[in-house]
Structure 1
Amino acid sequence: MMRGFPHFRGRLVSFSVGVMRYDLVIFDNDGVLVDSEPISNRLLAGYLSELGHPTSYEDSLRDYMGAALHRVHDLIRERTGQELPEDFDEVFHGRVFAAFARDLEPVPGVPGVLEKLAADGVTYCVASSGSHQRIRVGHRKTGLDRWFDDRRIFSSEDVGRGKPAPDLFRYAAERMGVAPERCVVVEDSPLGVRAAVAAGMDVLGFTAMTPAARLGGAQRLFDDMAELPGLLV
């Protein structure tokens, strides 16, 4: 039995009637809640190339998608023996936030999913490699801030190691008062899937941007947010 929900961007978001299999849904942010990966990875590739580290958009997606910004510093140092400028993070974030203000949108179908989870009292949060500032800037621009107060937002800034380490997801579960085995993570990056698996959580791999073959370890794969509620019951 299915029941309908309002259209978002021309799509009907439908929801299965059933019992939730999990006590907590943990969303990644970039590429899962907000459509930021194309924006940020084009800017990152361009900025690294400006600095003498030739990087294509595809390179950036492969190496940095889903990672905290310290991974960029680590890989450049490892590959070239050079350090990025001290103001690298500040300059990059400035470019990203300016682009977000112009172009950022929610991932299609996400508003309907969050509306339904909130209405049904399902516990959810976001755990992102991005900074708290980046998460909040993106949510304000896209209107998703109505569903995420401070108690539901977790960043790699809160832990010592970002994805693919399990620390962030474990921290989010602990703060939300839910055992890892009762959590499901919605992820679109290989690093994020590895982190969730290492944390002892189930993973639903979102393949709208990422080839399914790169999300090995996820229990289920899907490419349309309208499918997500049915995977939770």
Structure 2
Amino acid sequence: MTATADVATRVDAVIFDCDGVIADSEGLTNEVLRGMLADLGWQLTRDECLAEFAGHALIDRADVIEQHTGVRIDQDWIVRFRAGRDEALRAHLQPIAGAAEAVRTAAARFPLGIALASGADRAKIEMQLSMLGLADAFGPHVFSGLEHARTKPAPDVYLAAMAALGVSPERAVVVEDTVAGVTAGVAAGARVWGYAPGDATHTPAERLRDAGAEVIITDMAELVASILANA
């Protein structure tokens, strides 16, 4: 762990992001998006595409896409993207190493204080949780940023999760892996622990720290230890 939490404030809840924190989905989704953007005339490397789009809803990046392609994406385009994305996920999705143990540890320690808050659409969230065998861990406390007025980097989805759990922001830990997600958690007033394992599909630790992450974890075993230490 590259930073330590202030253990003076007790943790009462842990709120997980999904993509890149529980589901190792960012690379798969990114390749589908890169191909569709290339069809529109915008050629991006893997790293460029991740930097531009990871953690953001596609509709919120419509202006950027139009600037580079001259095409204004619409709901039909997003539906086609989601179909290709879901096909790739169904064929190849894997969990983030150690994520299931981290979720189960949090659920055991905070049975009334665990939630998932993702910027993705609910169908994707629920499909991935089902595939990874984790749907029961969160119960009804699964939140999609697309069901709120604003999604990440706005704080709305985290505020909704904390309200549902009945937890004050300073006693909630958000686990995030993108700048947009960290920004959302910080704006909600939560403590944010950034997951940065140092691989090709995750945001570098320094960027998460600059966005406001209080703690940087490099593997999920560290998250389990942190949950237990801060409970």
TM range (shorter): 0.7 to 0.9
Contact 1:46 1:55 survives alignment (8 Å): no
Contact 1:204 1:220 survives alignment (8 Å): yes
Contact 1:180 1:200 survives alignment (8 Å): yes
Which TM-score applies when normalising by structure 2?
Answer: 0.87
Pick the aligned partner of 2:123 from 129, 133, 155.
133
Contact 1:113 1:225 survives alignment (8 Å): yes
Contact 2:41 2:69 survives alignment (8 Å): no
What CA distance in whole angstroms lies between the structure 1 residues aligned with 2:205 and 2:12? 26
Cα deviation for residue 80 of structure 1 reads: 5.0
Count of aligned residue pairs for this structure pair: 215
**Higher alpha-carbon deviation: 131-140 or 62-71:** 62-71
What CA distance in whole angstroms lies between the structure 2 residues aligned with 1:76 and 1:198? 26
What CA distance in whole angstroms lies between the structure 2 residues aligned with 1:179 and 1:137? 30
Matches within 5 A, 1:116-195: 116-122=105-111, 123-149=113-139, 151-195=140-184
Query: Where does residue 111 of structure 1 map in the other structure?
Result: 100
Query: Where does residue 188 of structure 2 map in the other structure?
Result: 199
Contact 1:69 1:130 survives alignment (8 Å): no
What CA distance in whole angstroms lies between the structure 2 residues aligned with 1:85 and 1:224? 38
What CA distance in whole angstroms lies between the structure 2 residues aligned with 1:117 and 1:98? 30
What CA distance in whole angstroms lies between the structure 1 residues aligned with 2:59 and 2:176? 20
Contact 1:173 1:183 survives alignment (8 Å): yes
Gaps of 5+ in 1: 1-17
State the secondary structure of the residue aligned to 2:223: helix
Cα-to-partner distance string for 1:176-216 (whole Å, 9 max, x where unaligned): 21122221110000111111111111110100222111102
Contact 1:41 1:60 survives alignment (8 Å): yes
Contact 2:18 2:125 survives alignment (8 Å): yes
Query: Where does residue 222 of structure 1 map in the other structure?
Result: 217
CA RMSD of aligned residues (A): 1.9
What CA distance in whole angstroms lies between the structure 1 residues aligned with 2:74 and 2:155? 29
What CA distance in whole angstroms lies between the structure 2 residues aligned with 1:79 and 1:103? 30
Q: Percent identity?
A: 37
Letter in 1 for 2:223: L
State the secondary structure of the residue aligned to 1:126: strand
State the secondary structure of the residue aligned to 1:218: coil
Cα deviation for residue 145 of structure 1 reads: 1.5
State the secondary structure of the residue aligned to 1:161: coil
